[in-house]
Structure 1
C-alpha cells in the first residue's frame, strides 16, 4: 500500500517538475505574451483569482488593490500590493460570524504571498505558487501550486493543487511524501494568538485539486465558474449550507479601477464583492497640473552685461522674489565672476530635479551675461547637502531638444557640499504656520476595525538661525471615535503603546508635538540632528542622531540615542513616572529599481532589545509601500496577541492626488494589533529620508523633471 501511494506521488511530482522544466525551456524559445501574465480579477481572499480559488497570473506591477467581500455572514477586507511583476502580498482582515453565546463578532488577521514563477507562452501555461495565512492564527492557512492557460483571448482555464485549507474536499495522498514521510500528516489547527510562521506545516497533509474557467464576455463583463476545494470547517463559524463545491459568478468592470462582483457559492449562498485598484506609478493628472516654468533667457539678452553694470542687491532681490513664487527660498548667494553660486531650500516640489530646473531658469533670466556657470546648492533644514553645477550655454541650447534631460545630465556635475555660502540676512529668521484639517485613523482594532478622529491642526515653524528650528502642533478634535474602544490593556510589559486609547479621551486642545531641533554637518558625508521637547503624543525627551550617507552610495549607516519620559494622557505639558533610554544602530540600503531596505538594531520603549527589518518600494513621485517586522527578546507569550510587531506602512503624496506640487504626504501604518513589544519612538525629522531625497541618486532618478 505504501509503495503504491508513493508511486502515485512520484507520478504527480514528475508531472509538475516536467511542466516546470519545459516551461523554463519554452519561455526561452517562445515569446511570452505580456497580456497573458495579468490576472483579470481578485478572489474573495484578495488574491489574483477566480471566485474563491487563485489563478497563476499576477496583477499589474505596483498595483495596490483593496477588496471587500461578504457571504454567509463573513466579511473579508484585503489590501494587496503587487510588490514586483511576479510577487504580490496581501493583508487580510476577516470579520467572522458570532460564536454561540457571544455578543461580539470575532475577527482574524493574516498575510498571504503569491508568486508567478512561470509566464504563459504560446503553448505552456502560467504557473504560480502561493501561501495563505503565513503570519496569522492559521484559520485560513493553505498553500497551492496553480496553472492557468488562455484557451482563446477571452477564455481562460485554471487548475491547481492545494494543501491545508485548500485540501478540505476531494483530498488524496500528498505527492510530496515521495521526499519525506513528514509530508503525510499536517498538524491539527490549534488556534492561538497568531504571529507564528509555522513553516513546518506548509505543503503537509492531503492535497486536492481545484480549478475553474473565466470568460470575458464583453469589455466590462466577466463570467466565472469554479470548483472549490475548501470545505469551510466548523472552526470558521460560517453560516453556510455547503451543498456543492461549484461556484458561479460574474464581475462587472464599472470603471478602470472599480469592479463589482456577485456570486452563487456552494449551492446555497449569494456573495457580493467590491474591488478597487490603483497604481502608484500613474496619476490621474499625468505629469502634473503645475504652472509652466519660465523660459530660459539667453545670456546675450541678460538684464546686464556685467555685475558692475547692475546693483547686485537688485539682482538678489529679483531672484528672491521670482524663486519665492516657485516655492523656493534663496538662502545664500556668491558671485565668483563667471560662476554664480546660490543655495536654495525647496519648499514645494516632491522631486528635487524639478526644483533645480526652476531655479536654473530663473537664474538665466537675472544673472549678468558674464556668468557662464550656475552652481546650485540644495539644503535640507537649511543644511547644505548637494551641489549641482550647470553650464549656462547647455541650458540655452537644450531647452527644446527632444532628449534634453540626457544631454544636459552629461555636462552636469553633482557632488556633496558642506559650504553654506554667504547667507542672506533676509532669509532668517523664517516663520511659517498653517491651519488645516487632520484625520487620525486607527485600523484593525480587534474590537473595532475602523476608528478615527477628525479635527483642526494649527502648526508652526520658526527658524531663527540656519539649522535651528522650533516647531509645534496644536490639535482641536471636532468629532471621532478613537476614545470609544473598550479594550483594556492586559500587557505584562510597560504600557508604552497599549494604552494609546487613553491619549484620545480629552476633547480639549492637545499638544501632539513641541520641539526644538538643530541640524548640522559634522564632517564629510555626515549629517547630525539633536531634538528636544514633546517628540510625539506619548513621549517627550531628547533625541540625537548621526547619519553617514555619501552621495552615490547605496549604503547608509546611522545611530540614534534617546532619553524619553512618558507623557500625561491629556497631551498637555505633564509627564508620568515611566522613563527609558532607547537607541538604535541603523543600516539603509538602496537596491535600485525603487526597492529599499532598512535594518534597525537596538533598544525599544518597553526596554526590550531586538531588531526591525523594513522592506519598501518607493516611487519617484513620493509613493511608498513598506512592510516591517520587529523581533525582540520579549517572548510571544509576553508580547500577547500577534506574537510580535509587524505591519504595512503607506505614504501617499498629496501631489499625486491633486496633480499640483505639494510637499505634504499622507502616512498610514496598518498593524494587525498595537502592542508594547518592539515599540520605537516616533521622532519627527529623522535624517535619512530627507537627506537621501536631496542627493545624486534621487536627483538622477527623476532628472527628466528638470524641464518640467
Structure 2
C-alpha cells in the first residue's frame, strides 16, 4: 500500500533536509538520545541505537495531557530493559470512568541485532509494554544510520499502537484483541501481528550541546486522542530541540502532533564511573621490609611466641595501625611461621582493599619470623573466608608493575576452616553496645494513584553485641511528615493482606517499633554457614527464622534453605498480634549462581507469606564498585483473580553504594525496590542478614571483582 501523499511529502522533506545539512560535516557518530518513552530514539518513535553498556537512564517526558516517567537499563551491550509509569490527565472528561488521571505501568525489552558499520545501520527489535494492560503495547524494528558526526537518520516499522497510523497492511496476519485480565502477562499472540506502519526521523546535532529533531510518527493515539479526546492529534509530525546541559542531564522542548507543547528531562548515570573520580580516604600503610636473617638474626627468632602477653600486645599495636582505616582486629592466633587475624571491616566497600590494608599493617607489626599472613574477615561475627598471603610476596611486589594481578596469583582464598589452636579474641570487644539517632525516609513509588509518596522522620537504632556472632538489635521510628498514609485504591483480593495493608501500618504505626531481634550467626564447617533470628523481624511480622547456606569459597554455585514461623503484627506498630490473628510457616530452598562476571541469578522455591506455593527468579548485574541493578519475578499457585492487579509479583531492585557518589570509603548503601503493584502473593519475610549476600563478597569471585584495590 502506498502512503498517502502528505505523509510521503513529509518523509521526503526530512530526507532532503538530511542531504542538504550533511554537506561539509566530518564523519563520526552521535551519542544516542532518549525519546518520550525513555528509550533510544527521537520523540515518540524509537531508534536502532543502544545506550552504552551498563547505562542507567531516567526520563520524565510530558506533552499535552500525557506524562511518562521511565527507568531504563542497558543490561548488556545489546539488550536493554525499561520500566515506565504513565499518567494521562482528563481521562474521564469525555467518556465517564472512575479515573480523573489514568495511571498505568509497563515494561519494555529491546535487542540490537546489528551494530552500526560503515554501510550497515544499527538495527534494533523492540517490545513495548509487553507485559501489561496493553495501553502502550507495540513492537517495532528500527534502523539508524549516522551520515556524519552531526546527522543521523532513523526509519522503522511498527505494530500495535506503533502501527496505528498510515499502515501498509498486516504482513503477519491479524492482531487478536488483547485479553489484559489483571495485567502483567506477556501477550505472545499479539507480537508483530496486525497492521504495520512506517515511521522515520532525523536528528541534527548543531553543536556539542544543541540538537534538533524531527519525526514522522506512526502512532495514531487511538484511545487518548480518539476515544477519550484528551487532546487533538492534527498531524503525524513532531519537532523538538534539545540542550545537553551536563554530561548527565539533557533538556528538551517539543511541538507534538500539530497541537501540543512538550518538555522532557533526560538523566543519564553510568554505574561504571564514579562522579567524584576515585575513592579517597587515608593513605595506606607503607610495607615494612624485614631485615635479612644474616644482618639481624635475633629479629627472626621464633622465641617470642612463648612470651606472656605477646598476643594482647600485637592486637593492640595492629589496631593502632588500622584505626584510621575503620578495621578492627578482633582475634589473633599464631605459631612461629604463621599468624591469623580475624578482622571486622567497617569502612571499605571493596573487601580486597580491607584485606590489603591489614596485610600492609601486619608487615609493620608482626615479628620477622612470621612469613604467612592469614586474614579471616568476620561478617556479623561469623568467619566468611580465609585469605592467605606470603609476607615475602608483599615485600617484593608493592611497587612492581602489574602488582595487583601478581599478588592475586600468589594469594589463596579458602574456607574459614578451624581456628588456630591458640586463637583468642580481644576480651575488651565483647559485649559491646552501639546506638544511633538520625533521620529516615520511607518511599513508595508508582502506586495506583500517585507516582511518588514519602514519609520522613527520626529513627533510633541500637545494637548490643553479646559475643562473636550473637547480637541483639532493634529500631524504632517517629514520623515527622509525609503522605504514605494516603491509601491507594482498595482492590480486594482473595489472600491474607500480608503486604497490601502496608498503607494501614503507615497510617497507624507512629511511633513504631520496626524490629527487635536476637540473632546468632556461625560457620559450621564444610562450607556451611548458619543463621537463627528471633523476635520482631520486620514492621508487619514477628517470629523465628532459620537459615543454612552451603557456599564453597571458590564456587560460582551455592545452595541455601530457610524456614520461618511468623505471626502478623498489629498495625499500631506495638507488640501485639490480635488484630489479624494470622500465623504462617514459610520456607524456601534457594540456588545461587554467578553465571558470568558481574551477573548473579537466584531461584527460590517454596511457600510464601500468604500460604501460596511457587518460585522466584531474580537476576542481578553487579558492578565492581558495588552498584547492583536487578529484576525479579514470582509465580505461585495463586490465581490471577485472587492475586489482583499485575497477575503475579515482579519488580526492579537498585542498590547504590554511598562511596560511589561521595568518593569517600563507606559500606553504606541505598536500596530501592520498585514494584508495579504491592500485592499479597509471592511475598517473603523481610529478615536482616541473610547469609548469601553476607558472605559472598569475601569469597573468591567477590574479591576478584575488586582485587585492583588491594594496594590502595
For structure 1, the 5+ residue unaligned runs are: 6-33, 178-183
Are the equivalent residues in 1 in contact too, given 2:640–2:647 (CA < 8 A)? Answer: yes
For structure 2, the 5+ residue unaligned runs are: 3-26
1:108 maps onto 2:104 in alignment? yes
Partners of 2:499 and 2:168 in 1: CA distance: 47
Partners of 1:523 and 1:207 in 2: CA distance: 62
Partners of 1:196 and 1:327 in 2: CA distance: 49
What's the offset of the Cα at 1:338?
2.0
Query: Could you tell me which residue of structure 1 aligns to residue 262 of structure 2?
Result: 271
Q: SS of the residue aligned with 2:434?
A: strand
Query: Could you tell me which residue of structure 1 aligns to residue 239 of structure 2?
Result: 248
Partners of 1:162 and 1:232 in 2: CA distance: 14
Are the equivalent residues in 2 in contact too, given 1:97–1:238 (CA < 8 A)? Answer: no
Residue pairs, 1:201-600, within 5 angstroms: 201-235=190-224, 237=228, 239-300=230-291, 306=301, 308=303, 312=310, 313-421=312-420, 422-424=423-425, 425-485=427-487, 487-506=489-508, 508-576=510-578, 577-600=581-604
1:74 maps onto 2:78 in alignment? no
Q: In structure 1, which of residues 631, 656, 676 is the aligned counterpart of residue 660 of structure 2?
A: 656
Count of residue pairs brought into register by the alignment: 669
Partners of 2:262 and 2:408 in 1: CA distance: 55
What's the offset of the Cα at 1:39?
4.9
Query: Could you tell me which residue of structure 1 aligns to residue 122 of structure 2?
Result: 126
What's the offset of the Cα at 1:279?
1.1
Query: Could you tell me which residue of structure 2 aligns to residue 22 of structure 1?
Result: none
What's the offset of the Cα at 1:357?
0.6
1:40 maps onto 2:41 in alignment? no
CA offsets per residue over residues 259-278 of structure 1, 9 Å max, x none?
Answer: 00111111111110001010
Q: In structure 2, which of residues 129, 132, 155 is the aligned counterpart of residue 136 of structure 1?
A: 132
- Report which stretch shifted further, 460-469 or 605-614: 460-469
1:185 maps onto 2:174 in alignment? yes
Q: SS of the residue aligned with 1:370?
A: coil
Partners of 2:463 and 2:663 in 1: CA distance: 26
What's the offset of the Cα at 1:555?
1.0
TM-score by length of 1: 0.91
TM-score by length of 2: 0.91
Are the equivalent residues in 1 in contact too, given 2:110–2:126 (CA < 8 A)? Answer: yes
What's the offset of the Cα at 1:486?
5.3
Q: In structure 2, which of residues 637, 641, 646 is the aligned counterpart of residue 637 of structure 1?
A: 641
Are the equivalent residues in 2 in contact too, given 1:147–1:160 (CA < 8 A)? Answer: yes
1:673 maps onto 2:677 in alignment? yes
Partners of 1:280 and 1:238 in 2: CA distance: 42
Are the equivalent residues in 2 in contact too, given 1:380–1:694 (CA < 8 A)? Answer: no
Partners of 1:528 and 1:314 in 2: CA distance: 33
Q: SS of the residue aligned with 1:300?
A: coil
- Report which stretch shifted further, 303-312 or 224-233: 303-312
1:147 maps onto 2:143 in alignment? yes
Q: SS of the residue aligned with 2:53?
A: coil
Q: In structure 2, which of residues 48, 52, 55 is the aligned counterpart of residue 56 of structure 1?
A: 48
- Report which stretch shifted further, 634-643 or 374-383: 374-383
Are the equivalent residues in 2 in contact too, given 1:375–1:388 (CA < 8 A)? Answer: yes
What's the offset of the Cα at 1:419?
2.3
Query: Could you tell me which residue of structure 2 aligns to residue 163 of structure 1?
Result: 159
CA offsets per residue over residues 507-544 of structure 1, 9 Å max, x none?
Answer: 64211111111112223111111110111100000001
Are the equivalent residues in 2 in contact too, given 1:51–1:226 (CA < 8 A)? Answer: yes
Partners of 2:699 and 2:691 in 1: CA distance: 13
Q: In structure 1, which of residues 620, 624, 627 is the aligned counterpart of residue 624 of structure 2?
A: 620
Partners of 1:432 and 1:371 in 2: CA distance: 35
Are the equivalent residues in 1 in contact too, given 2:491–2:644 (CA < 8 A)? Answer: no
Are the equivalent residues in 1 in contact too, given 2:70–2:82 (CA < 8 A)? Answer: yes
The structure-2 alpha-carbon separation of the partners of 1:341 and 1:654, relative to structure 1 and needing over 3 Å to count, comes to same
Q: SS of the residue aligned with 1:234?
A: helix
What's the offset of the Cα at 1:57?
0.7
What's the offset of the Cα at 1:35?
7.4
Are the equivalent residues in 2 in contact too, given 1:585–1:601 (CA < 8 A)? Answer: yes
Partners of 1:532 and 1:107 in 2: CA distance: 40
Partners of 1:103 and 1:704 in 2: CA distance: 54
What's the offset of the Cα at 1:488?
3.2
Q: SS of the residue aligned with 1:692?
A: helix
Partners of 1:385 and 1:606 in 2: CA distance: 34
CA offsets per residue over residues 451-501 of structure 1, 9 Å max, x none?
Answer: 111112121221211111111111121111111225335122111111111
Partners of 1:423 and 1:483 in 2: CA distance: 51
Query: Could you tell me which residue of structure 1 aligns to residue 185 of structure 2?
Result: 196
The structure-2 alpha-carbon separation of the partners of 1:304 and 1:366, relative to structure 1 and needing over 3 Å to count, comes to farther
What's the offset of the Cα at 1:191?
5.5
Partners of 2:47 and 2:535 in 1: CA distance: 53
Are the equivalent residues in 2 in contact too, given 1:651–1:665 (CA < 8 A)? Answer: yes
The structure-2 alpha-carbon separation of the partners of 1:191 and 1:546, relative to structure 1 and needing over 3 Å to count, comes to closer
What's the offset of the Cα at 1:402?
2.3
Partners of 1:654 and 1:304 in 2: CA distance: 44
What's the offset of the Cα at 1:551?
1.0
Partners of 1:633 and 1:662 in 2: CA distance: 42
Partners of 2:370 and 2:208 in 1: CA distance: 59
Are the equivalent residues in 1 in contact too, given 2:547–2:560 (CA < 8 A)? Answer: yes
Query: Could you tell me which residue of structure 1 aligns to residue 650 of structure 2?
Result: 646
Partners of 1:45 and 1:489 in 2: CA distance: 28
CA offsets per residue over residues 400-455 of structure 1, 9 Å max, x none?
Answer: 22211011112111111232342322332233222221110001110122111111
